[in-house]
Amino acid sequence: MKSFDYGDKMIGSKEMAVAVASMILGGGIITLPRVLAGKTFGADGWLSILIAGIFVCLFTHIAVKLAIRFPHQSFFQYTSSIVSKPIAYALVFVFGVYAMSIVAFEIRLMGNIAKLYLFSRTPTEVLTLSFLLVIAYAVAGTRAAIFRLNLMFFPIVMIVAAVVVVMNLGAFDFKNLFPIFTTDWKGLYSGVKETAYKMLGFEIVLFYIMYMTRPQQAYKASRIGVGLVVMLYILIYITCIGVFANEVTQTIVYPAVELARQVEVPGEFFERFESIFFTVWIMTIFNTSAMAYDIALISVRSMFKQGGKLVYLSFMSPIIYLMAMYPPTHVDVIRYGRYISYTGLTLGAALPALLLLIAVLRGVKGDG
């Protein structure tokens, strides 16, 4: 009998797939077309997205393989088994700071863009703080609720993104996609690197697989999650190039938002469709930030057993807010995000591979 499926604290493959996709999406989707247009010619950037997606699938597979080796154990528990408890403390601490940095970056980016497009007379500090409080409130609840919110928000994000693409077909010019296959390998490599930075977030499987009822399904779920993001990135990127052309796209700060501004609904039912797109985009930022905050909370509670969740949230939220407001300008915020990406690539790709290698060489396994 499944009378109360959504009250279950454990998650299935569907929740994991959507969680991976939601975590990766974040703010990357609105700036990626500009970055890729600056690295490639015509619409060749789709190749960079595809190649980056394949690499991210590989890294995710390794992370899943590591976590599944220790079923129903936390990241701290199985890392302690592999490399000793003191090193595990250090790694969990680094992961905790990294996750807090993601929250700080996302809420500051949201504050900047909200001020630019929606609340021009409201200080960024107020917008950022308001969003942080909403996220802290969500994280204060059950972890299962965050996964349910992902399931509720993600289809809306995909539908609105599809509407933006379809409604821009009238302005789409296929000539803008040419020339094709003229970008050299250096340009494609640069595009792959930039795309990979914007596809980080898959490392959440290291923390969340322990909550899966059937951990073996994490392989397929994570591939589906990454695949959905790759498909969405390619659609938005190709549409931006087709509508604005490569040369213009690389000069627009937020091409995906500008794409939404081009939408004209018949009958003028919506005069500013970009406000709807922006609202939906806030949902993706919310999902990303809530899961990053949750992982920071898991990391801290792994190291310090005493105290309730609200105590840790009260202690961590001011720190996250100060981290968010530290970069003085938008350029500094983007640079801040770049440093986080460097850290994420190390923690999400290199670290799981190293831990898995050590676990295999030492013959360390979980009890499952």
Residue 183 phi, psi (nearest 5): -75, 130
Cα angle value 328/287/339 (rounded, 5°): 40
- Asked whether residue 361 is domain-assigned, the answer is no
- Res 366 pLDDT > 90: no
- Asked whether residue 356 is domain-assigned, the answer is no
- Asked whether residue 18 is domain-assigned, the answer is yes
Helix (H, G, I), strand (E, B) or coil at 9: coil
CATH assignment of the domain containing 143:
1.20.1740.10
- Res 239 pLDDT > 60: yes
Q: What is the mean pLDDT of residues 249-269?
A: 76
- Asked whether residue 363 is domain-assigned, the answer is no
pLDDT class for 266, splitting at 50, 70, 90? low
- Asked whether residue 1 is domain-assigned, the answer is no
Peptide bond preceding 179 in cis form (omega within 30 of 0): yes
Within 8 A by CB and 6+ apart from 50, the residues are: 230, 234
Q: What is the mean pLDDT of residues 254-258?
A: 83
- What does the DSSP assignment read for 43-80? TTHHHHHHHHHHHHHHHHHHHHHHHHTSTT--HHHHHH
pLDDT class for 47, splitting at 50, 70, 90? very high
* Residue 6 confidence (pLDDT): 53
* Residue 206 confidence (pLDDT): 93
- Res 179 pLDDT > 50: yes
Q: 242 near 166, Cβ under 8 Å?
A: no
Q: 85 near 270, Cβ under 8 Å?
A: no
* Residue 338 confidence (pLDDT): 84
Radius of gyration of the chain (CA): 21
* Residue 3 confidence (pLDDT): 46
Helix (H, G, I), strand (E, B) or coil at 32: helix
The answer to whether the pTM exceeds 0.85 is: yes
Within 8 A by CB and 6+ apart from 10, the residues are: 211, 212, 213
Q: What does the alpha-carbon distance between residue 365 and residue 82 come to, in Å, rounded to a whole number? A: 9
- Asked whether residue 146 is domain-assigned, the answer is yes
* Residue 200 confidence (pLDDT): 85
Q: What is the mean pLDDT of residues 114-131?
A: 88
Q: Which residue type occupies 225?
A: G
Tell me the C-alpha to C-alpha distance, in Å, between residue 315 and each of 7, 60, 133, 292.
29, 32, 13, 16
If one compares 324 and 252, the residue with the highest pLDDT of the two is: 324
- Asked whether residue 360 is domain-assigned, the answer is no
Mean pLDDT of the chain: 87
Q: What is the mean pLDDT of residues 3-17?
A: 73
pLDDT class for 367, splitting at 50, 70, 90? low
DSSP conformational letter for 329:
S
- As for how many domains the chain has, the answer is 1
Q: What is the pLDDT of residues 216-228, one digit of tens each?
A: 899 999 999 999 9
* Residue 198 confidence (pLDDT): 84
pLDDT class for 333, splitting at 50, 70, 90? confident
- Res 4 pLDDT > 50: no
> Which domain does 150 fall in, by range?
13-351
Torsion of CA 278, 253, 263, 225, to 10 degrees: -60
Tell me the C-alpha to C-alpha distance, in Å, between residue 32 and each of 27, 168, 253, 277.
9, 18, 10, 16
- Asked whether residue 305 is domain-assigned, the answer is yes
